[in-house]
Structure 1
Amino acid sequence: MKKNIAFIALIATFFTLAGCKKYTDLTPKGSLVVETAQDYYELVSFPNRAYTITNFQYLVDDMWFKESNVIGITPNINTVHFLFNENIDRVSLINSSNFYERCYLYINRWNTIISSVDESKGDANVKALAKAEAKALRAFDHFLLVNVYAKGYNPTTAATDGGICIMDKYDLEAQPVKSTVAEVYAFIQKDLDEAIPYLQAQPADPYHPSLAFAWALKAKVHLFKREIAQAKQACEMSLSYNNQIFDLVNYTTKLGGPTVTPIVAPNNPEVLSYMYIQGYNETNFGYSWPISPELRNLFGTNDARFNMFFNTTSASFLDIGSGAAYYSIAYTRFFYPTAGLKTTEVYLMQAECLARENDLAGAMAVVNKLREKRILSGSIILSVPATRKETMDIIINERRKEMFLGFNRFFDLKRLNTEPEYAKTVTRVYPLVNKTVPQQTYTLLPTSRLYVIPFPLNVLKKNPNLTLNTDEKLPF
């Protein structure tokens, strides 16, 4: 065992990546020594774990860019993605990636716990719990990575599609070889299956993964693989531990909303495990990340999610007249999760499973259960559509409204684009306000290579075993 490993650096500082690994060789002065099972268990809790997505957040139909940030600006990765430009060298534009580095930093943390806790002093049950929680979070981080840097899971090609580096051990000298998409998903499923028997329904704090979280992640993995029966069963298991839906209608109409009754992290009962895009104050990034006119219109005029949280009138953050909107509620007034998992996503996954099994009435019953807590007036209860495609469209759009911002829409477009029935060609007419440049229509095809984000250049240079998953060229 690597005894007396210092972890203060893992919590406070991000070190330079080498291939797919973080190097944490030095013990800073005043660092925390971890040597008991309880120490390792407490190490799992990481209250400010965050995943910055600035390399790919505009590759969706739900996000928008203020025109002054695009027109006349030297192309950067955000403008290239926002305008769906396949003709520019993206590899050179992504010299590094905070998202990539943080995912592997966290994986290194989980691997350290998994590889060292058995030799620590203390209760065997605490050791098993710490290891299980670390495996659940390791599975989550690998799931994020494979859904950003590889193609969406396609059962016919996953065994040969290039994936990511699987990191399953604490090894400072590793230069791992890239695994396939199928191998990464198999690893994720194995971690979850090994973790679930030891997890708790009510962990010590909300930064420890619960049984509801693990089953929800398992459901998501199965759903992305189109293993519908397994996904539905996992949804049911997750909801058996936490089935709460925060009632935004009651919150708006009777409790006065966020100005009267703040709901701050970690006090939102829908959230299954707290993690963030930017950090504890993450929804403040809505000020600089407007949602698209398309998503704004999708909300309509009687949706509590839009009416409570979004602003359409500030010229500081919007082009007035574009139809865009931005999230405007401070995190000190209401915490709306954009990463991790929450019960409402589990309900929508359950609805999708039912629709895919042609239980359209069952699917819509689940959707309407959510809408009763979200829609203020009008057509709260939707009727059962005539076809599976119409039902799926409702569910997909409900996912867009319930899981705005963050990375979920990007993941959904990628997975649904592998199925002709649900694939979408995204079009963006831009600009909408500025009259000094010609208005154009930009198109993102379901098969576009843009959906596969290149590995960061600094990582590609350090690990010769890592190769691109697109046909883009290396600049070295």
Structure 2
Amino acid sequence: MKNKILAFALVVMALLPSCEKYTDITPTGAVILNSTQDYYRLVSFPNRAYVTLNFQYLVDDQWMKESNVIGLNKNINIINFTFDEQTDRVSLLSSSNLYDRAYFYINRWNTIISGIEFTDGEQRIKDLAKAEAKILRAFDHFILVNVYAKAYDPATAATDGGICIMDKYDLEAKPKKSTVEEVYRFIQKDIDEALPFLQENPAGPYHPNVAFGYALKAKVHLFKREIAQAKEAALKSLSYKDEIFDLVDYSRRGGPTSVPVIAPNNPEILSYMYMTGYNEMNFGFNYVISPELRNLFGNNDARFNLFFVNNTASFVDLGTGAAYYNIRFNQFFYGTVGLKTTEVHLMLAECYARENNFTDAIAILNKLRAKRILSGTVNLDVPATRQATMELIVNERRKELLFGFHRFFDLKRLNNEPDYAKTLTRTYPLVSTAVPRQTYTLAPNSRLYIIPFPLNAMKLNPNLRLNTDEKLPF
């Protein structure tokens, strides 16, 4: 048994130095894990990052400054922004921070799940550590399958190419690629095994709590269109944590420049994780919203008025109608890639709409809007149809769940349903006359929505191949 403990300790010693720049605490020396508490503490991983650069412009909500597109050689951002299906994007994706980091985290969770059983300590702590590691392992597989594979479609998931499932620590493994259905089955098994052991108030903010667990369960069921199960899980999550931060009152108090709200003080956050790091929202050029989304906000929405700027030329072209996020991370913590209570409220609203309970669906939207809309019409009327109700819900999701994965994942999953599919159109440039203005379109079934696996991963694992019909350069 001691040999197994030593083996896992050496694994963790290898993991820790490589994640220095992604943690708040820099390791000062080798760490030997030989107790149950050591493994439990390993679950906490501050500053966990999920970089979205490979696909952030494949949506209708983000925008690029014209000087970053016109006259430049095509990079992956320009290809995605112009919805270009002809240029070879596969060769440009030699590596991927998102792909590498997600599997790095999965290996960390696998180390905990496998290694903790060989330690001396309370079984209660072992069960808790394994549960927390499993819910995070489920989250990371969920992210990967929704980036690199087709969105879950009940009619085709059993044959659609997915990702490699990693259920144990093995740096030399060359696993086969599972189907989308198999990946979702694995995710749901991890979630269901974890939920009975998760705590309402865990040891620290980087330990997942039970509200996060049920929120993730709701999201997975919703993406599979298992509406009754999604509704039940969303209600369960909200029974533990349902706060909505009042931005209307916050505006009256002066907003982020007068009353900073750092990460621990935002009551909506269910999981502390980031796109690039805890200071990510400092980089305005990465967080430019499109004229379409800016118009959707209108002029009386605190979500826009508090956080965005559209009247300076720092990161946007004046005259386009685009705007950029302009609040420093230490003034307001804005959750992006993680889960938060408002997403759970909106998932519940969608469940009600899909069950034709339009009254309760709109009641949730109005509850949210009461803490978002500064003046004018706050309460929405109840539509007569499911499609009209869903449109209102999707619009609120676009305004509430900015950046990260949210709009990209929503477009992918909703494009599988004819009633909600959307052909994206982008007219560009809007100001410059250096090149002709064009209208670019992205069809709901475009292969661009399935991001290619990075070349370095496919070269290492011959069992891993693209989920699209694009050609490999080797």
Cα displacement string for residues 419-467 of structure 1 (whole angstroms, at most 9, x for unaligned residues) = 0000000000000010111000000000000000000011111100001
- TM-superposed deviation, 1:218: 0.2
- Alignment root-mean-square deviation, CA: 1.2
Partner of 1:317: 315
Measure the CA separation in 1 of the matches of 2:232 and 2:333: 29
What letter matches 2:270 in structure 1?
L
SS state of the match for residue 335, structure 1?
coil
TM-score under structure 1 length normalisation: 0.96
What letter matches 2:107 in structure 1?
N
Partner of 1:174: 173
Partner of 1:119: 118
- TM-superposed deviation, 1:32: 1.3
- TM-superposed deviation, 1:8: 5.0
Cα displacement string for residues 239-259 of structure 1 (whole angstroms, at most 9, x for unaligned residues) = 000010111111111x22111
Measure the CA separation in 1 of the matches of 2:284 and 2:449: 23
Partner of 2:424: 426
Cα displacement string for residues 24-76 of structure 1 (whole angstroms, at most 9, x for unaligned residues) = xxxx9822111111111111011110001111100000000000010001011
| Unaligned segments of structure 1, at least 5 residues | 16-27
Q: Is the 8 A contact 1:249 1:374 kept in 2?
A: yes
Partner of 1:224: 223
Distance verdict in 2 for CA 1:6–1:463, change over 3 Å: closer
Equivalence map 1:176-195=2 (5 Å) = 176-195=175-194
Cα displacement string for residues 219-245 of structure 1 (whole angstroms, at most 9, x for unaligned residues) = 000000000000000000000000101
Partner of 1:10: 15
Measure the CA separation in 2 of the matches of 1:88 and 1:185: 32
Equivalence map 1:353-372=2 (5 Å) = 353-372=351-370
| Unaligned segments of structure 2, at least 5 residues | 21-26
What letter matches 2:197 in structure 1?
Y
SS state of the match for residue 142, structure 2?
helix
Task: Kindly indicate whether residue 261 of structure 2 is the aligned counterpart of residue 263 of structure 1.
Answer: yes
- TM-superposed deviation, 1:278: 0.8
Partner of 1:275: 273
Partner of 1:149: 148
Q: Is the 8 A contact 2:5 2:34 kept in 1?
A: no
Equivalence map 1:203-242=2 (5 Å) = 203-242=202-241
Measure the CA separation in 2 of the matches of 1:316 and 1:261: 25
Q: Is the 8 A contact 1:66 1:318 kept in 2?
A: yes
Measure the CA separation in 1 of the matches of 2:305 and 2:325: 10
Alignment length (residue pairs): 463
Partner of 2:131: 132
Measure the CA separation in 1 of the matches of 2:261 and 2:393: 27
Identity score, percent: 67
Equivalence map 1:408-419=2 (5 Å) = 408-419=406-417
- TM-superposed deviation, 1:339: 1.1
Measure the CA separation in 2 of the matches of 1:345 and 1:103: 22
Task: Kindly indicate whether residue 460 of structure 2 is the aligned counterpart of residue 455 of structure 1.
Answer: no
Partner of 2:444: 446
Q: Is the 8 A contact 1:44 1:208 kept in 2?
A: yes
The ranges of structure 1 where at least 4 consecutive aligned residues each deviate by more than 2 angstroms after the TM superposition are: 1-12, 285-289
What letter matches 1:377 in structure 2?
S
What letter matches 1:234 in structure 2?
A
Equivalence map 1:81-120=2 (5 Å) = 81-120=80-119
Q: Is the 8 A contact 2:5 2:118 kept in 1?
A: no
Measure the CA separation in 2 of the matches of 1:468 and 1:362: 42
TM-score under structure 2 length normalisation: 0.96
Measure the CA separation in 2 of the matches of 1:459 and 1:91: 12
Measure the CA separation in 2 of the matches of 1:286 and 1:31: 38
Measure the CA separation in 2 of the matches of 1:276 and 1:172: 25
Measure the CA separation in 2 of the matches of 1:244 and 1:316: 35
SS state of the match for residue 443, structure 1?
strand
What letter matches 1:248 in structure 2?
L
SS state of the match for residue 283, structure 2?
helix
Q: Is the 8 A contact 2:291 2:321 kept in 1?
A: yes
Task: Kindly indicate whether residue 341 of structure 2 is the aligned counterpart of residue 343 of structure 1.
Answer: yes
Cα displacement string for residues 396-415 of structure 1 (whole angstroms, at most 9, x for unaligned residues) = 01000000111110000000
SS state of the match for residue 258, structure 1?
helix
Partner of 1:25: none
Measure the CA separation in 1 of the matches of 2:204 and 2:410: 29
Partner of 1:38: 37
Distance verdict in 2 for CA 1:360–1:35, change over 3 Å: same
What letter matches 1:133 in structure 2?
E
Partner of 1:77: 76
Q: Is the 8 A contact 1:66 1:319 kept in 2?
A: yes
